[in-house]
Structure 1
């Protein structure tokens, strides 16, 4: 819906965008809620991310943005194996556990039931879908590294779950629609 020309809007001048301004605007961009996990010689680690999207279906590739200051960052790069578990309605607590900086890796993985993908990465059995990936390349941007991950296997453990999204700093359930568009 377009605003009437007389409707006031808050405007931030170019160059005056603060970190808080940017975070507020980005909180209004709906995002998936996924667990990103790894295991290998550099340990088992996992975290909740919403900065993920598909890149290409030829070859199947996704990108994940990881903050370089995250304590698990190096393990993801060194292990090279990435598990992506797309969360469902009712999995808000596990998303919170994997987002918490206060919990150890063991405490995080004590939540849920896990299987090991062909890459060695842990995958949540109750996820809407899982992707077993390998890091193909890494690009640095600001405080984050963008990991381009080749998808080697996909599983849809449940066809009856609803997706989980993050919008306006809260979880929201995404219903499945039976109508095809």
Structure 2
């Protein structure tokens, strides 16, 4: 049998994008930092987001049934840390500038890209909930920010990817 610590150590070597996932609805506003986010299908556009059921944010997402996934750029390390901390919701959202799209979930204005979603299905798997999210809106970074680097997490540390290499042809 594979021990949880062995699995976590192995998963730390899987490079993942860093995202801030937010919600706002009748239960209130909340958000958390997530790396367990991926595409499911483009028809209909659907994302999968995993969240620990013990997280203080969990009930907000279950009750509100909406979320936004904000893909962070290299400049957002402090926002990632804030949403992964025990800071109050108000202090978390004091970081960055926020707007909204279709659902009303907070969208980070300068995110690399943001996906506004309706939660269609929730599956409990072990300690986590898997949210299947229909994408109802997308906001891309401003054109002048397209060259920005993305924030990723690998081997328990932040890294940046996306810089285009300069290649000289002889």
Q: Which residue of 1 aligns with 2:120?
A: 136
1:65 alignment partner, SS class:
strand
Q: Give distance in 2, aligned partners of 1:152 and 1:114.
A: 18
Q: How many residues are paired up?
A: 163
Q: Is the 8 A contact 1:82 1:133 kept in 2?
A: yes
Say if 1:60 and 1:150, in contact at 8 Å, map to a contact too: yes
Distance in 2, matches of 1:107 and 1:39, equals: 16
Q: TM-score, normalised by structure 1?
A: 0.87
For residues 117 and 76 of structure 1, the distance between their equivalents in structure 2, rounded to whole angstroms, comes to 17
2:5 counterpart SS class: helix
1:157 is displaced (CA, Å) by 2.1
Q: 2:68 aligns with which of 72, 79, 83?
A: 83
1:141 and 1:161 map into 2 onto residues whose CA distance is 35
Q: Does 1:49 align with 2:27?
A: no
Contact 1:83–1:117 under 8 Å retained in 2: no
Q: Give 1:32's aligned residue.
A: 17
| Mapped partners of 2:89, 2:126: distance in 1 | 26
Matches within 5 A, 1:87-166: 87-100=72-85, 102-158=86-142, 159-166=146-153
Tell me, in whole angstroms, the C-alpha distance in 2 between the residues paired with 1:120 and 1:114. 11
> Is there any run of 5+ residues in structure 2 with no aligned partner, and where?
none
Equivalent position SS for 2:74: coil
- Which aligned segments of 4 or more residues in structure 1 are displaced greater than 6 angstroms? none
Greater Rg over alpha carbons, structure = 1
Cα distance in structure 2, aligned partners of 1:178 and 1:135: 38
Structure 1 gaps of 5+ residues are 1-14
Contact 2:67 2:116 in 1 (8 A): yes
Q: Tell me if structure 2 keeps the 8 A contact 1:97–1:103.
A: yes
Q: Does 1:61 align with 2:46?
A: yes
What does residue 154 of structure 2 align with? 167
